[in-house]
């Protein structure tokens, strides 16, 4: 497969004996991190929806008051 690589990547690969294996391993690692992040994000959203259904959220005014108490300048 003929792939054009950015110059910065070509420079980074200088001295790497098996460039193809290095690139494949790097892509696999990046994809794994992306999949893990997406799974985490979906779980956080689902958890937040459940909390909202259970009434565990606070109102906008309650949040503004909390931030004022801890010293944050809140605009109305």
| Token output for 64 | 């503004």
Q: What are the C-alpha distances in Å from 38 to residues 7, 9, 26, 45?
A: 30, 26, 18, 11
What is the predicted pLDDT for the residue at 20?
A: 80
> What would the pLDDT profile of 19-59 be if each residue is shown by its tens digit?
888 888 989 999 999 999 999 999 999 999 999 999 998 99
Q: What is the mean pLDDT of residues 60-68?
A: 94
In the predicted structure, residue 5 carries a pLDDT above the cut 70? yes
Q: Please report which confidence band the pLDDT of residue 1 belongs to, taking 50, 70 and 90 as the band edges.
A: low
- pTM, full prediction: 0.59
What is the predicted pLDDT for the residue at 63?
A: 93
């Amino acid at each position: 497969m003929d792939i054009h690589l950015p110059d910065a990547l070509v420079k980074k690969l200088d001295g790497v004996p098996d460039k193809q294996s290095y690139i494949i391993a790097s892509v696999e690692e990046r994809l794994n991190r992306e999949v893990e992040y997406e799974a985490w994000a979906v779980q956080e959203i689902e958890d937040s929806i459940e909390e909202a259904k259970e009434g565990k959220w606070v109102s906008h005014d309650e949040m503004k008051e909390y931030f004022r108490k801890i010293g944050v300048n809140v605009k109305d």
